[in-house]
Amino acid sequence: MKTVTLPLPMFGFIVATRAALGVGLGLLVADRLPQEKRRTAGAMLVAIGALTTIPAAAAITRSFRRTRMIQNPAGVR
């Protein structure tokens, strides 16, 4: 089992970006708003969610490395 340790602000960032991606996808398939506004808002939220995936994934990857270093500080594997 892998353990991920994230500071609260980074966890909030990851949750917010995933929410933006989900809401954007929801807007793209919904019929509640006029088509032009829905497409614009949905595309913007999807783009924000997709672009922020890179820093979020990097933060999680760094957290995995940091956890391994703490468990095995000598660097012996």
pLDDT digit string (tens) for the chain, length 77 residues: 667 777 888 888 888 888 888 888 888 787 877 888 888 888 888 888 888 888 888 877 877 765 555 555 554 44
Q: What is the pLDDT of residue 75?
A: 47
- Report which residue type is found at 76: V
Is residue 32 within 8 Å of residue 38, measured between CB atoms? yes
What range does the domain containing 19 cover?
Answer: 8-69
Q: Residue 56 corresponds to which tokens in the numbers above?
A: 């979020």
**Domain-embedded: residue 3:** no
Q: What is the pLDDT of residue 59?
A: 79
Q: Residue 14 corresponds to which tokens in the numbers above?
A: 């990851």
Q: Residue 34 corresponds to which tokens in the numbers above?
A: 């006029």
**Domain-embedded: residue 74:** no
**Domain-embedded: residue 50:** yes
**Domain-embedded: residue 77:** no
- Report d(CA 34, CA 32) in Å as an integer: 7
Q: What is the pLDDT of residue 76?
A: 44
Q: What is the pLDDT of residue 33?
A: 76
